[in-house]
Structures are given as structure tokens and as C-alpha cells.
Amino acid sequence: MMNARKWVAVSAAIGASTIVTTFALTNPVRVFRTVVAMLTVQQGSDPLQFDYHLRDGEDLVALALGATPTSNQVFAMEIDCGSSQADLVVFDKSNSNITTIATSDSFTTVKQQAVHRLVAGTTNEERFVAHFDVVAANNLAPGGFLTVAGRLHLGTNGCPTAVLISLDPDPKDSAFGDKDVTDLEPDGSIKDTYRAGQAHFIGMLNVISTNSTESVSTNAWLVPLGHMTFRRQLDQFDDAP
């Protein structure tokens, strides 16, 4: 969980069961470590009071697993090489197991040839808007959603790909409020030199919680603002077309 000081820094720069799933696509896929910073709003314990929290990807992972994640269980995005569908997932770096958090029911892109990485005849940059439906998993109830808008780099084979951060700047990032999210989670000690893109999002989560009297309830967490940075590729698939 992030404290207020860490959120300011990020914003300025911007015995549980595990559900293991597979990506139900025939196209090759890529999995990118995704660093998240978001502000959530929920109903406070007092009537007519807002309850604000600063959260990161580790919080989403904990909800999906119903337990505190290990250092190997991280938030990630899994996307097909055609950029037609994606999942937001928990990726376990120790065994490549995947727990799905949300699946896209729409993924719309516009593409261009990136001037700063000009490759003749190859479309190598895209902007997208995608709507993700949150799946039921441990402390996540169905009905939640995330709407994500951002950009991704494409390799010469058309697959989303991570490039050196020095090759990643986009002059429109400031216009969209996209800024690099600082990794404040256990793997933040790994210095990333690659980035696949950035995004911002809004949405809502239906969160199952248990109070001190063991009463179970479902509470709405509004997400008025969030940021994602797509970093290094986690999987080592070599199956691009």
C-alpha cells in the first residue's frame, strides 16, 4: 500500500485459493510487468463521508489472491499480438502461473509509424482504449470494470514490445496526463531500462470484505484516477508470427 508522500512522488513523475487461468486466444501473447498507482474512493464508516486510499498494483494482486502476495506475484498485462484482446492478471514469476483479474470486452486501437523509431513499411506504435470487466476471484466480486487508455510500442512482427526507455518518449504524454509510475513494490529494486508504454484509467471495483464481527459485505471502490506503466516483458515466449 502506498502512503500519501509516495503517491505525490508518483503523480508528480505522474491460506488463500489461487485461480490459475490460461489466455484463451490462438494468437501469440506477451506479458508485461505493469506498475500501477491509483486513488480509490469508498464509503466511509461515518454517514456521508468519503474514504480515500492511495493504492498500487500490489493491492489489486492481494484482492485477486485473497492473501498477501509473495514477492514473485506481480500485477501484469497479458495482450495478444494483434492487440485485439488483453487481460489484467497476477503473474507468478516463480512458475509463470496466471490469475486473471479482468478481461477486455473491447480493445480498440489506432496505429502509426513512430517517427523516433522509423522502420520502413512497419507500423510500430499504437494508441488504444480498452474496457476490462473484473472477474470474480477471492476478494473481487463481479460487476467491477476498468477503462484504460494509453499507448504501446509494436515490434517489427506487430507484437507489443518493450523498448529502451530512451526510445519511448511521446510528446503527447503530458496532454493525456501519462507519466512514468514509480515501482514502490518489492521488485522496485530491479532497475527497468525497458518500457512498452503507458496508460491512465478509471473504473470501479466490487470488493468483498469481512469486518470484526465476521460479517461479509461487498463495497464499491471507485477509481477516479489511475496510471499504468507497462515495463519489461515477463514471459519468455518466442512464438511471434
Closest CA to 105 of 80, 123, 87: 87
* pLDDT for 171: 87
Beta bridge partners of 38: 55, 226
Question: For 191-221, what is each residue's pLDDT tens digit?
Answer: 889 999 999 999 999 999 877 666 788 999 9
In a domain, 209, yes or no: yes
Q: Is residue 240 part of a domain?
A: no
User: Total domain count for the chain?
Assistant: 1
Full residue range of the structural domain in which residue 68 is found: 4-233
Q: Is residue 238 domain-resident?
A: no
Nearest to 195 by CA among 205, 183, 184, 210: 183
Q: Pick out the chain residues at pLDDT < 70.
A: 1-26, 115-122, 212-214, 236-241
Q: How far is CA 179 from the centre of its chain?
A: 14
CB 196 within 8 A of CB 233: yes
Give me the residues paired with residue 52 across strands. Answer: 41
User: In the structure grid, which three cell numbers stand for residue 17, read together?
Assistant: 485459493
- Residue 114's pLDDT is what? 73
Q: Please indicate, yes or no, if residue 241 is contained in any of the structural domains.
A: no
Predicted local confidence at residue 214, as pLDDT: 66
pLDDT value of residue 29: 92
The model carries a pTM of: 0.84
How confident is the model at residue 117, as a pLDDT?
63
Let me know if 169 is exposed, middle or buried by CB neighbors in 10 A (0-12, 13-18, 19+).
exposed
pLDDT of residue 224: 97
Distance from C-alpha of 230 to C-alpha of 83, rounded to nearest angstrom:
14
d(CA 67, CA 23): 23
pLDDT per residue over 178-191, tens digit each? 989 999 998 998 88
Q: What is the pLDDT of residue 44?
A: 83
Residue 94, class by beta-carbon neighbours within 10 Å (0-12 exposed, 13-18 middle, 19+ buried)?
Answer: exposed
Q: By three-state DSSP, how is residue 208 classified?
A: strand
Nearest-angstrom CA–CA distance, 241 and 233: 17
The predicted pLDDT at position 220 comes to 95
- Tell me what the pLDDT averaged over the chain comes to: 85
